[in-house]
Structure 1
Amino acid sequence: MFLMTQQPLSSLAKLRFLAFTLLLVLPCARSLANIKLSHEDAIARYTHKIVTHVTWPDEQDSGTLVIGILSNNATQLESFNNYLHLKQVRNKTLSVEAITSKKIPEGRYALLFVNNESLHRITDKLLNDTKLLIVTDSGTRQDKRITRLAVVNRKIKIHLHRETLVSNGFSISNALLEHTGTKEDLKAQLRAQEKHLNDLMRETQVKEEQLKALNDTLTKTNSTLAKTRSDLQYKSTKLNENQIKLDQLNSKLSLIQSKIAQGQNEVAQLNALIEKKQRELANQRWSMKEKNMEVRKLKAQKTINQEELEKKATLIDSQKATIQYTQDAIRQQRILLLIASFTAVVFLIMAYVLLLLNTIRKKNNSKLARLNANLYELATTDSMTKLFNRRHFIESSENLILQQRRNSARSCVLLMDIDHFKRVNDTYGHAVGDEVIVRVADILIANLRKHDIVGRLGGEEFAMVLWDCSVNAAFTIAQRLRSEVQNSSVNTKHGEVGFTISIGLTEIIPNKDDIDQALLRADSALYAAKSNGRNQVFVSEI
């Protein structure tokens, strides 16, 4: 089963911080019964715990969480100021305010503490405020919208209704539910978190399919782009050739225009000559015949020259049309060149977007893998001792027994229990008791062989499966563990506290036993060790 917090997946550091906070808060909660606090201090402390483990729906919109105190008890207000005022929770500053006015301001407070004497001032409008968390120390008013701090056997217990808080947008940590909620609340919380994780995994799968489709599109686009670049290079070459031809035509046009100007000059000269000849004809009538012949010749030459000029003008018009056609072709090729350049830029942008999406997918996959590894460790190990928990120890032991049957190996089971552990808790407190459990776990880990399995079955009870080990060798190992535990101690304010363990030993019968049967015989041997004075190893008879 996978577990997730209500924080975004990208904040793995916050998840680790929450787990570390859980390890600190639970031992403190066990030791509260032995710390002499006033009722007001205890109420303030448990209210601080609620603020720490509950996340408000609009918490990100403000840097301050304001806590209103509706109580006439001055000591109560002083306790809240001592334990909550100006404290930091999830980078938010807590601010404690005493409510002295008759009307309670609406929308100002994130949490409202109301003692039993002031509970009558809570209106339905305040109870229906989905962003306000109401806490009271009254045990009389039963309302799903109110979180109660009830005193049971001189201990304070938190009563909250998870379904109502979650429907209003609040988030409750698994640590608080384990400490105060019901099993059904915790199961519902875990199911909701598992569903959220599955949704994220499905979303990641969809993104991967989309990315694959985009990669195929990019491949096709790159092929099209390469073809477009080839066509563009060919057209650019053609454009340069046409430009050279245009320059040559312009040169020919200049030469033809020069010849036309020269011909026009010649025509002007011929006209002047005709006029001169006509004047001479008037003056020299006697030579008119000869001069008329000459005039006819000049007129004939003029006609020939005019026809030649008309032919040249027609040729110039044809060359101008050719030049205009060439210029139109150049303009069209320039437009195609701009379109091809724009297409290339669009393809480059699409390639960059695809690379960016691929990088984001890889980061999300890496974060998801790390989160699954952390969740597997939480599901299979005991949070205090880092040993296998009972369920994972049983599963691993069954697998080891199956392997033993295939290899015809001999194995043994040690069942260990800390002697007089309840007396240690009652005398020195649960914090010292937890330290004793951790010290015993460290000794077991230090003596663990390569293929052995060790786990904490619950409370002060431990179990170890010794792979490929005879009863005599297992007895030697058990005596060494018992001796090392006897020689160890923990430091307390009352001085060093020593402790011992009793051990029940049994051999796993090949092709017959399962782990439960072996543990039952080991438990019988452990009971015999306890009955015979404790701090000793007893071997079960098969």
Structure 2
Amino acid sequence: MSVGHGQFINTAQSQRVTSRVRRPSLTSLCACLWMLMSVSAAALPSMTVDDAKARYLIEIAKHVDWPDQSGLGELQVAIVSSRASTRRAFERLGEVSVDGRPLRLQYFASDELDPAAFDLIFLGDRFRSLYSDWFESTSSTLIVVDGNVPREAMMVSMVEVGGQVSLRLNRENLIAHGFSASVALLEFAGTREDLSEELRLKQSRLRLVLDEVAAKERRLGELDRQLAENSTNLESAQAALARGQEELERSRKQLQLLTQEITLASVEVTGYRDQISEQQALFEGKQAELQAKQEQIREREQLILRLESDIESSQAVLDSQLSEIDRQRTMLENKNQTIDAQRESMWLITVIMLIVLVVAFFLLRLNALRTRANLELEKLNSQLYEMATTDSLSGLYNRRQFLRSAEDAFAAYRSVDAPMAMLMMDIDNFKQINDRYGHATGDAVIKAVSDVLSHRLRESDILGRLGGEEFAMMLVRCDQVEALNVGHRLCKDVAGLEIGHSKGAVGVTISIGLATVEAPDQGIEAAMLRADKALYQAKSRGRNQVLSYEPDLGAPLTG
């Protein structure tokens, strides 16, 4: 998708906010992008291509999630370009912020800067060749390149063709550096696979979060019910305990009163007994006078009888008081038993609370184990991807991954008319090596040849093992003459190999068929077929040589 420089709309007009917390729906974003495409050149007559690129850079910054969202400081932006018009275009933007974080723009006309010190770097004109080294040397810096660059180390690039500016991005490289693109940016500049994968990831995460929320809500409801029941039981027990304590205090006061009454009665009884003793002593002392005073003695005997009657009455009262004391003691024992039962209930409530805490601990532990299992699953998925794309013996791309990468390179470089060449390579007499020296030596030969081929590989080239002793190499930005030179060097390097064996050193050579990608080709299959025919002719003409396919002569010719 591309727009002309006269069709760009500024950030104040678009008002698109794409932070992690607030992001518009996919429908509204698509409508916004359609409006971008619909603005005519007459609406903004003074806008240049550099203005469009400057505004695109701001929109890219708004539509990615940065690795560190915790800071509230400035976003450090480096504009690396030798063109004065590029700097003026960014200066015309004025003060710009992304999610409340102001952008601090710094301008450089040379490569003398530390790329890791910036959050966002724009590489223009002659500095675009720095993208590969800076991509490898930084871990959390977003690099936007002005121009077409190879996809392998690309994050985001702006390509101008005929006054039209288009965005291209590599979602895998963005993720590898801690960034994630919004759905709107993927729909605007990514591939259909990028957008589909992003949507699948978000749906999967949403399902997991919804499941966890539902489970935690159910558990929270159970804990709330248990807490309400326990609170009710605790309040009842506390009220009963308070009533028991009040009754116990009243019983203690009654017991004190009864004890005081018993003490007073005992004092009275003691006084009466002392009087009786005095009377008896007087009776014995005056026994001689009893005869004369019989009347007095009878009166005194009656008095004694009355006193004894009073003593018996007091004794009955004392017995009644002792019985009441026994009854109060029985009630006190019953109260103590009630208090003990209430204390046991409190212990039971405490045990229940401990069980609830233990269950909560195990639930948290289970959640931690589930998180660890998810991390291990992601690691296994990464290993499975590597196994699915790499040949285990040679370490090179397998046939399927080579074809996929070659098709991607074909599509990318074909759009800029870059020359491309295909080399089909085969180890000479490999079956005889296996039969004579064994399969272990054959595997060693394949590994050694793979190392030689990889050593000659440029960063933009693609190398893979198609199967057995057959290899393929796609050279981008390489014409027929350069490809022939590469093929000759590969033949020479492989011929210099010596594989050690108990029967003696094993010599190795390869044959190479070469074909360039032609204008009518719709994919790499035609070039591979021509290169394979040239390889067959190289084998037929004696091996250990490079032949280039020449259709006008009707047969491949040697380089």
TM-score, structure 2 normalization: 0.46
Q: Determine which structure has greater relative contact order: mean sequence separation of CA pairs < 8 Å that are 6+ residues apart, divided by chain length.
A: 1
